[in-house]
């Protein structure tokens, strides 16, 4: 049974709750829906027949919809249930490439742009009938393009402004690449949930014989961008901090970026110590593997990579130990099954953490769990 987080409901719901799951988010949304159904079954019994609590107790809060793709690749969304006056939460995973569609006879995986276009279609399909629209996006769309250094697009800010222009009031995401992107929508709610509690708990439970003290453990930031995350880990665990900085070749541009020439370490000796590398995401993984190799060359013991999102854009081969061989980097290698299990359970465990744990963060989904 769900954990009881309030003995009695003291506020009137903003509106009847509705949850819309975009393709690729059905399982996550179903778990959220199941939790809220069980939790609300024991709440506000004395108000169940009042008009202010209309739709409070239901068997499901999921809204039926169809996401249609035509043979040309164009699409549309049809909402089949009434949403008039509803408080809508749209769950969107813009990085789920396992979702496919047919275009000109070819099977095409959905790109982040395709998912974001579907999100806008859902908002458009509400036809301004919903009382409030909220978007839950575990990994922020275009989060890495959060700032402008030259004549380049400012995609994340434009996406956030586009959503709020379409009527979105609240945007909830997990571990945004740079939370300052919320400055692009100063008059709307932007909630950036940090999963550090879940990550630290997973490390403590999963890593054997981990000694948490400055003589045996060191937190490493793989670059200056992840430094604030590493500082939080080091402070909470009471250990020291080191970091790498990326030397780039500014005379060249490859795939829109200056290529990395080398990773150089700044910090105390790592010899004989367990290392936790903290970052928000693994894209191709090349930088993370390079950092791990450097640390092993410096004499580090075990290396544990801790990140919120594992994309592995170039596949998992570099992270899997070949049969009858040991990993060259000394990192703990995982099986495909354990990696996929970790990725599939990250979002739901993070949301459970939000609902149960730290008081200041409870307010992030306050209207979702109270209404």
**pLDDT at res. 322:** 54
> pLDDT, tens digit, for every residue of 302-360?
888 888 888 888 777 766 655 444 444 444 443 333 333 343 334 333 333 333 333 33
Share of the chain above pLDDT 90, in %: 38
Q: How far apart are CA 161 and CA 189, in angstroms?
A: 12
Q: For residue 362, is pLDDT > 60? A: no
pLDDT, greater one: 222 or 262: 222
> In which band, very low, low, confident or very high, does the pLDDT at 8 lie, cut at 50, 70 and 90?
low
Residues 352-355: contacts with CB under 8 Å, at least 24 apart: 352/35, 353/195, 353/197, 353/198, 354/193, 355/3, 355/5, 355/35
> pLDDT, tens digit, for every residue of 44-83?
777 777 887 888 888 999 999 999 999 999 999 999 999 9
**pLDDT at res. 39:** 86
**pLDDT at res. 116:** 95
Count of alpha carbons within 13 angstroms of residue 66, beta-carbon side? 7
Q: How far apart are CA 151 and CA 292, in angstroms?
A: 34
> Region 237-254: what's the mean pLDDT?
80
**pLDDT at res. 18:** 94
Q: For residue 366, is pLDDT > 70? A: no
> Region 5-34: what's the mean pLDDT?
85
**pLDDT at res. 2:** 43
Q: Residue 184: which residues within 8 A CB-CB, separation 6 or more? A: 156, 157, 158, 160, 161
**pLDDT at res. 361:** 33
**pLDDT at res. 319:** 64
> pLDDT, tens digit, for every residue of 150-188?
788 899 999 999 999 999 999 999 988 888 899 999 999
Helix/strand/coil percent split, the chain, to 5: 35, 25, 45
**pLDDT at res. 120:** 95
**pLDDT at res. 80:** 94
Q: For residue 264, is pLDDT > 90? A: no
**Mean pLDDT of the residues in the chain:** 80
Instruction: Report DSSP state, residue 212.
Output: -
Q: How far apart are CA 134 and CA 156, in angstroms?
A: 17
């Amino acid at each position: 049974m769900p954990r009881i987080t309030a003995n009695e409901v003291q506020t009137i719901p903003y509106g009847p709750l509705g949850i819309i799951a975009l393709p690729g988010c059905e399982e996550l949304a179903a778990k959220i829906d199941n939790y809220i159904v069980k939790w609300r079954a024991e709440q506000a019994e004395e108000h169940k027949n009042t008009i202010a609590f209309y739709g409070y107790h239901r068997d499901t809060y999921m809204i039926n919809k169809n996401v249609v793709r035509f043979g040309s690749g164009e699409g549309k969304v049809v909402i089949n249930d009434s949403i008039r006056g509803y408080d809508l939460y749209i769950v969107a995973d813009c990085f789920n490439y396992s979702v496919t569609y047919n275009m000109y006879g070819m099977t095409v995986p959905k790109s982040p742009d395709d998912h974001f276009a579907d999100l806008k279609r859902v908002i458009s399909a509400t036809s301004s009938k919903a009382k409030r629209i909220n978007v839950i996006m575990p990994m922020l769309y275009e989060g890495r393009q959060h700032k402008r250094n030259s004549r380049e697009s400012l995609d994340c800010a434009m996406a956030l402004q586009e959503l709020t222009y379409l009527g979105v009031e609240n945007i909830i995401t997990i571990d945004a690449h740079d939370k300052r992107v919320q400055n692009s929508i100063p008059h709307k709610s932007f909630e950036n949930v940090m999963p550090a509690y879940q990550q630290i708990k997973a490390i403590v439970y999963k890593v054997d014989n981990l000694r948490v003290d400055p003589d045996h453990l060191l937190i490493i930031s793989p670059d200056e961008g992840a430094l604030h995350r590493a500082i939080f880990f080091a402070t909470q665990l009471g250990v020291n901090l080191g970091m790498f900085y990326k030397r780039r070749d500014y005379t060249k541009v490859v795939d829109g970026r200056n290529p990395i020439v080398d990773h150089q370490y700044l910090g105390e000796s790592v010899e004989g110590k367990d290392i936790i590398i903290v970052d928000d995401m693994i894209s191709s993984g090349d930088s993370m593997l390079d950092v791990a190799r450097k640390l092993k060359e410096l004499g580090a013991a075990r290396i544990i990579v801790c990140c919120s999102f594992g994309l592995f854009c170039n596949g998992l081969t570099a992270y899997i130990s070949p049969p009858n061989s040991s990993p060259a980097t000394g990192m703990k290698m995982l099986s495909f099954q354990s990696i996929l299990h970790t990725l599939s359970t990250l979002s739901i465990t993070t949301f459970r953490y939000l609902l149960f744990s730290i008081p200041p963060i409870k307010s992030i989904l306050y209207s979702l769990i109270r209404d």
